[in-house]
């Protein structure tokens, strides 16, 4: 560190900062925004003094971004979402903000331990809308599913059997003992469900996946 007090380094440092426009290359802040600027060596060249590097091997960073680059504080950029999980209830806790969460997103960084965070913090760390887009998709799916389950198109006949017409096909829910089975155009399937709602969710999933026609063909072949 003693080399960084030499005039050669001070001169080189000032030149790098000037070439970078006097602002941090990561966050864009400069002295006018309260940032303390430093020069970061992107890679180290054996036998070279700090001021003997080509300019391209160095970049201007504020003190915070410089610390995160060296793993001293949590990095602000470079996080990647690698997965997610539904805990079923608010039993999780975001590693970043401490909020209770149900939906967990797993984020990784090459210079920091992996974290489990919520939707908003995942977007903040990855600087994307990946988590919020995913959750919006889940919310839209849940809303469409709810509408399908409670749709007035479901009719109950005198025997208490629920049915509806979908894509020109007659679908009904047949009760067998304490369970239910699907019947399509008078062809009964072998799969059992615990409730009418479970049957409806199964049908809706097929509709959403765009495989309804294939499902009907398979039923007709039985």
Across the range 155-173, mean pLDDT stands at 85
In this predicted structure, the answer to whether residue 221 has a pLDDT above a threshold of 60 is no
Averaged confidence pLDDT in the chain: 85
8 Å CB contact between 103 and 85:
yes
Residue 1 banded pLDDT, cuts 50, 70, 90: very low
Across the range 57-69, mean pLDDT stands at 86
3-state secondary structure of 194: coil
pLDDT in tens, 95-113: 887 888 899 999 988 877 7
Phi, psi (degrees; rounded to nearest 5) at 76: -90, -25
In this predicted structure, the answer to whether residue 50 has a pLDDT above a threshold of 60 is yes
8 Å CB contact between 33 and 27:
no
CA of residue 211 relative to chain centroid, distance = 26
Distance CA 90, CA 142 (A): 18
pLDDT in tens, 66-96: 878 877 777 878 899 988 989 989 888 888 8
8 Å CB contact between 62 and 36:
yes
Give me the pLDDT at residue 114, please: 81
Q: Which residue has the higher pLDDT, 17 or 42?
A: 17
């Amino acid at each position: 560190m003693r080399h960084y007090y030499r005039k050669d380094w001070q001169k080189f440092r000032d030149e790098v900062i000037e070439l970078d426009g006097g602002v941090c290359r990561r966050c864009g802040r400069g002295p006018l925004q309260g940032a303390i600027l430093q020069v970061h060596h992107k890679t180290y060249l054996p036998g070279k003094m700090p001021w003997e590097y080509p300019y391209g091997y160095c970049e201007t960073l504020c003190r915070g971004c410089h610390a995160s680059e060296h793993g001293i504080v949590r990095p602000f950029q470079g996080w990647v979402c690698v997965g997610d999980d539904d805990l079923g209830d608010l039993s999780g806790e975001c590693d970043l903000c401490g909020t209770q969460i149900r939906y967990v997103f797993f984020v990784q960084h090459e210079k920091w331990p992996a974290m489990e965070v919520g939707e908003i913090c995942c977007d903040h760390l990855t600087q994307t809308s990946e988590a919020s887009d995913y959750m919006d998709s889940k919310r839209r799916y849940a809303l469409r599913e709810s509408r399908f389950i409670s749709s007035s198109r479901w009719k109950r006949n005198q025997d208490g059997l629920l049915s509806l017409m979908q894509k020109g096909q007659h679908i009904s829910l047949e009760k067998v003992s304490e369970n239910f089975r699907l019947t399509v155009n008078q062809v009964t399937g072998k799969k059992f469900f615990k409730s009418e709602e479970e049957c409806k969710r199964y049908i809706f999933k097929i509709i959403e996946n765009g495989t309804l026609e294939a499902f009907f063909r398979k039923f007709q072949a039985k």
